[in-house]
Structure 1
Amino acid sequence: MTDPSTATPPAYTPIADRPVRWGLLAAGGIARALAQAIAAVEGGEVVAVAARDGDRARAFAEEFGIPRAYGSYAELVDDAEVDAVYISSTHPFHREQALACIRAGKHVLVEKPTTLTVHDTEEVLEAARAAGVLAVEAMWTRCQPIVLDALARVRRGDIGTVRSVHAALPVPFDYDESHRLFDLTNGGGALLDLGIYPVTLAHLFAGHPTHLHVLGSRVATGADALVALQWMTTEGAVVQVLTDSLSHGSTETLVRGSEGSLQLHGPINNPTSFTVRRGEEEQLVDGGDRRGYEHEVEEFHRCLELGLPESPLIPHADTVAIMTILESARRELGVRYPQEDEPLHTADVVP
């Protein structure tokens, strides 16, 4: 895919001579983390927050010194002084909220996954392009310097040709059918909430599937809980991904090559370091600049300053490709959301 940073002219008037004015759509814990990140970096300020509960929005605004608080999302969308909206509601609501923001001319940072389905994700991204606004999935791991460093080393051949990748994310939750992770009506399932991280890393390091094999199990609500994916890429690498919402275990990622290996340490979504092994040599690379969501916010600001329609670090094609893997896998497991009114429209996992 062509690097969108080379596109001329800008897709919209760049925001380069003043702070980006952010609006927060939803006022939960992850919105709090992003508000803190925006405050910690240059180039942006939160000017409005909205929640379905007006009192909650006002309490959030008071905590962070945000000038405007709304008791409905529509009021935020209609706020002419908001440039960009961070959408952090639950998955099933992302599509309609993102489209409303885009129709209002807002740039959008949409919490992962962008939507519930491939079809809806493509609709949102195509609408953003047509409207001339920036749309980015909030896959913050892709903006982490430690991940970018590891990826650059693999792509330049430090461990030879990639032969296999193993990535896993088990996170134990107490089973409760009303919990978001197990409630299909609220976008539940391990794949979309947890599995998106190891699938994203595996896709980054190895590439897209030519074949995809799926094993897994569901809980009583019908949501996927344990999922194992295996695929082969065009280049001949084998990928193994595991996610589980009911078990403990390591989240480290291992990339094996023809000349060595690279292992990411620590949380899969925010690694602390990585080790490169080649022959008898072993190098531990420290994570260095680890500032959580701040890197994601800085990338979004950079894109707005350049007038880009998408982020080179989180390109639209990859967002759709990864959603295609996730959707293909859950359909194989018989997991279908009640909001879906169309079958998977992609014939296979190759975009």
Structure 2
Amino acid sequence: METTPSRHPDGPHAGAPLRWGLLSAGSIARTLAQAIAQVEGGEVVAVAARDGDRAAAFAAELGIPRSYGSYAELYADPDVDAIYVASTHPFHRDQALAAVAAGKHVLIEKPLTLTVADTEEVLQAARDAGVLAMEAMWTRFQPLVLDALERVRRGDIGEVRSVQAAFTVPFEYASSHRLFDLTNGGGALLDLGIYPVTVAHLFAGHPTHVQVLGSRVETGADALVSLQWMTPQGAVVQVVTDSQSQGASETVVRGTRGWLQLHGPVNNPTSFTVHTADGDVLVEGDRRGYQHEVEEMHRCVREGLLESPLAPHADTVAIMTILESARRELGVRYPQEDAPRTFDGMAAP
């Protein structure tokens, strides 16, 4: 889904580096901090955690000037331009809204929130405040994925007829494990399934309706989910995600004139091959992990954009709509949710 990004009413950010604050001192925050240090245009100036000692140790390890034992101090820091929300899913909404209210740009770890309603609320609040909000779906910013997408959209394999994508990662079941704990946003769909759903949505488009099969573990969290949908253009999509099995995660896009295969994990492809009557073409490219999404964040702020054209708000909401509809079908409901929301078919938001 293409969109014309709105712009900050006051124009682009000045030429100075974007000053980052990290909300959380976990492993994902460390990975992003390292990515920021490896690209131009930004610097991490602060980190906050509920445990002040942990934040201080994190800051000392990575050479971050300031650390805080509360998130409120991070929001209030006048020297922080953008905040990376790296906590677990149920906390994203309130933390992102607080950061936006403080006038900070926000990069929010995927999924952006637990629900469609919360996602819409955060994105609207950011637009109203005139700040950039972006979901940290790193797959969307990878040059290999963008190259493959461009080839498909320009017709290299003809009209897309079907897409298959899967992502399975085995975790030993324990009711207290975050992936199986509904109070902490557990479930295969939001942690793993969001990747193949995102990739399939990129290559095929939004569904007219979704068929869902799956199973839950004892805590009620979804563990194995299979989705199938058809797009208005007539393409069929098949997605599988599982938190308890192993297997290849090859992604295949089939067209009327050929087919394209993404090699390696669906969230971080290593290469892709285009198969046509003219022969097979193997394509490799730039793979620098989280650096690509950091570069896009810097570019968008620098150019005064309120959303990234590579991760438009409408797509973020559309994908959350697919995931939430699938959860409803499986009977998965988070305790933080309001009463179940009824969707008017599967029309794009």
Change (3 A) 1:345 1:76: farther
Name the structure 1 match of 2:122: 124
For the 8 Å contact 1:11–1:309, the answer to whether it is kept is no
TM-score (norm. length: structure 1): 0.97
Change (3 A) 1:29 1:270: same
Name the structure 1 match of 2:142: 144
For the 8 Å contact 2:8–2:130, the answer to whether it is kept is no
Q: How many residues align?
A: 348
For the 8 Å contact 2:84–2:108, the answer to whether it is kept is yes
CA distance in 1, matches of 2:32, 2:217: 32
Superposition deviation, residue 346 in structure 1: 2.6
Helix, strand or coil at the partner of 2:281: strand
CA distance in 1, matches of 2:10, 2:224: 43
Name the structure 1 match of 2:222: 224
CA distance in 2, matches of 1:197, 1:119: 20
Partner letter of residue 165 of structure 1?
V
Displaced runs of 4 or more, over 4 A: none
Q: Percentage identity across aligned positions? A: 74
CA distance in 1, matches of 2:212, 2:131: 36
Helix, strand or coil at the partner of 2:148: helix
1:262-300, Cα deviation, whole Å (9 max, x unpaired): 0000121111100100125111111x2110000000000
Change (3 A) 1:12 1:249: farther
TM-score (norm. length: structure 2): 0.98
Superposition deviation, residue 345 in structure 1: 4.2
1:119-149, Cα deviation, whole Å (9 max, x unpaired): 0000000000001000000001000000000
For the 8 Å contact 2:2–2:312, the answer to whether it is kept is no
Name the structure 2 match of 1:28: 26
CA distance in 1, matches of 2:10, 2:52: 33
CA distance in 2, matches of 1:72, 1:14: 30
Name the structure 2 match of 1:304: 301
Within 5 Å, give how 1:274-313 maps onto structure 2.
Answer: 274-279=272-277, 281-286=279-284, 288-313=285-310
CA distance in 1, matches of 2:244, 2:39: 36
Name the structure 1 match of 2:52: 54
Gaps of 5+ in 2: none
The answer to whether the aligner puts 1:178 opposite 2:190 as a matched pair is: no
Q: For the aligned residues, what is the CA RMSD?
A: 1.1
1:32-62, Cα deviation, whole Å (9 max, x unpaired): 0000000000000000000111111001100
For the 8 Å contact 1:134–1:308, the answer to whether it is kept is yes
Name the structure 2 match of 1:245: 243
Superposition deviation, residue 349 in structure 1: 1.8
Name the structure 2 match of 1:64: 62
CA distance in 1, matches of 2:278, 2:83: 50
Name the structure 2 match of 1:81: 79
Within 5 Å, give how 1:95-114 maps onto structure 2.
Answer: 95-114=93-112
